[in-house]
Amino acid sequence: MHALEEARPTVIHPTALVASGARIGLGVKIGPWCSVGPNVVIEDGVELISHVVVDGQTRLGAGSRYFPFCTVGMAPQDLKYKGEPTRCEIGPRTVVREHVTIHRGTATGSGVTRVGADVLVMANAHVAHDCVLGDRVIIVNNVVMGGHVTIGDDARIMGSAAIHQFVRIGHAALVGGVAGVEADVIPYGSVLGNRARLIGLHWIWLRRNGVQSQDIHHMRKAFLTLYPKNGGDQPFAVRLDAVRRDFTDNVRIQEILAFIDAPSRRGLVRPARGDASGLDTEGA
């Protein structure tokens, strides 16, 4: 036997059902009453704790963990789906907690549902077909999202938020608890309410992740140019041009502008009325 296999034995509980054809890596632990379909690939060091169902053309990234009663790669809740061989991919070291459902993609969409690396999906959340979650995303309990949602790296989606299909959530954005998000959230944006409104930038994340005070000052100034107190007198396009002109060297502001310029099915979340720009909202 290979030395690595001796060091990292794969353990499959006798009550688990692992179909012929499933590819199982080294050091995998498949607990009691789990079910693994024939087209599943489980990379090294994955743990299915118990009562986990993995089906379809699904790949579980190395070192990821799956808690009881979650399902990964099951057929999408889309009436147009006719059993096409679509996919689901979970990144390394991602943690999927109890009763989470992650469905595979659809032939009419991208064909793949993708969850990045080091993601935490807390209990009872739903990741729908064709969704794409970046790295280090945190999805808190009871979050639900429609199909084709895109969530950027480092975003935080707080408990019981609901995200409409085709919505884009930008890098390091914060969606507040019980928010109903019907439109796109800019990178570093912070939204609250039902329906969700933009109340500022995710200042807490920026400070915790080493963004310098001068850069934060520039981002605050750019945000207030785009979304002035009480709406301002100029059209949004004019304010957008002013930010393009005045902040050409700030990488994060350019990221926000590129997000605004990108194609969108839903448009942008509207700002809250009045002055909410100074509100600090805690992220996970």
Q: Which of 5-14, 94-103, 123-132 has the lowest mean pLDDT?
A: 5-14
Q: How far is it, in rounded angstroms, from Cα 224 to Cα 88?
A: 40
- Hey, what long-range contacts does 79-83 have (CB within 8 A, 24 or more apart)? 80/106, 80/108, 81/106, 81/107, 81/129, 82/107
Q: What pLDDT is attached to residue 279?
A: 45
Q: Given the residues 55, 118, 130, 154, select the one marked as catalytic.
A: 130
Residue 129 designated active-site: yes
**Residue 2 or 68, more confident:** 68
1 pLDDT tier (thresholds 50, 70, 90): very low
How large is the angle between the packed helices 213-226 and 236-246, nearest 10 degrees? 160
Q: What pLDDT is attached to residue 274?
A: 63
Amino acid at position 39, single letter: N
Both tokens of residue 179?
């928010």
Q: Which of 5-14, 64-73, 151-160, 243-252 has the lowest mean pLDDT?
A: 5-14
Q: What pLDDT is attached to residue 5?
A: 46
Both tokens of residue 208?
């915790």
Q: At CA 258, angle to CA 253 and CA 262, rounded to 5?
A: 150
Q: What pLDDT is attached to residue 6?
A: 53
Q: How far is it, in rounded angstroms, from Cα 6 to Cα 264?
A: 51
Q: Cβ(184)–Cβ(202) under 8 Å?
A: no
pLDDT above 70 as % of the chain: 94
Closest to 155 (Cα-Cα) out of 178, 186, 128: 186
**Residue 1 or 55, more confident:** 55
Q: What pLDDT is attached to residue 233?
A: 85
> Any idea how long the chain is?
284
- pLDDT over 60 (residue 64): yes
Whole-number mean pLDDT of the chain? Answer: 94
How far the first Cα of the chain sits from its last, in Å, is 44
Residue 13 designated active-site: no
CA 202 to chain centre: 16
- pLDDT over 60 (residue 4): no
* pLDDT average, residue stretch 181-193: 98
Q: Given the residues 129, 148, 171, 202, select the one marked as catalytic.
A: 129
170 pLDDT tier (thresholds 50, 70, 90): very high
Q: What pLDDT is attached to residue 7?
A: 63
Q: What pLDDT is attached to residue 38?
A: 98
Q: Cβ(66)–Cβ(48) under 8 Å?
A: yes
